[in-house]
Structure 1
């Protein structure tokens, strides 16, 4: 496999493993982020969320569909940033497909008429995959003593 293919695989692996992200949208002239439970669909090159028709993020996306998803596993020192375009769908079959425990905190059933699907089509990603907090600290300390730059793991920019 090429580096590009490996890096793309790594993006989807990390997104799937981390699972939760901060969804950043534009609200007028401000930028706003909120935590969301993500459902990655590598084959479709899409990330899905369940959202409520009355939420402000839906209004933000209707005006400014460019969004950013920031995934972070701080204990494992693994991070992914996805940039792409968003759309709101009233796809009842997809809602049933995505229905899981996190959704039950917000709605009683997948048949709630206020549920919508938020679909993100990523166009660009960047990931940071470090060996973990303890190892990273050891590498930083060793680098500080030797004046060398520490190897902090993999970092790549990926066109999607």
Structure 2
């Protein structure tokens, strides 16, 4: 599969699956949790509160991993494994663009200073469990 075709397939998987697992590094060990992801041309964004462990962990080590795509269908689900780096993004434009009323459980609104995004810049994306095909890797 060409890198262009692979990129197209990765974008589809990411666009079709908003809930995934984010892993950061805490005391040299993985620390994972489920998050909601948005994407713009393979850059991922996930909302969070600025005063969380994951923000502290990323401040110490920007390396992250994300799993997206695996659902309740079982062993036949294709999914992506994304390795990259993350930064904190508090852009007001981004906060308004991705604001969802369900966020009111945690934030006062898009202007809430505690409402930020983790911006994840992929370095390597692997497609796994792709209908019996070998692992495919997209290097960015």
- TM-score normalised over the length of structure 2: 0.88
Equivalence for 1:111 = 111
1:72 aligns with 2:72: no
Equivalence for 2:94 = 94
Report the secondary structure of 1:73's partner residue: coil
**Does structure 2 retain, via aligned residues, the 8 Å contact 1:72–1:78?**
yes
Show structure 1 runs of 4+ deviating over 6 A: none
The unaligned stretches of length 5 or more in structure 2 are none
1:46 aligns with 2:26: no
Equivalence for 2:136 = 156
Alpha-carbon distance between aligned partners in 2 of 1:23 and 1:108, rounded to the nearest angstrom: 24
- The number of equivalent residue pairs is 137
Q: Which has the higher contact order (CA 8 A, sep 6+)?
A: 2
Report the secondary structure of 2:69's partner residue: strand
The unaligned stretches of length 5 or more in structure 1 are 132-151
Alpha-carbon distance between aligned partners in 1 of 2:137 and 2:130, rounded to the nearest angstrom: 15
Bigger fraction of residues in helix? 1
**Does structure 1 retain, via aligned residues, the 8 Å contact 2:14–2:69?**
no
- TM-score normalised over the length of structure 1: 0.78
Alpha-carbon distance between aligned partners in 2 of 1:104 and 1:79, rounded to the nearest angstrom: 30
Structure with the greater alpha carbon radius of gyration: 1
Alpha-carbon distance between aligned partners in 1 of 2:101 and 2:77, rounded to the nearest angstrom: 26
Change (3 A) 1:110 1:94: same
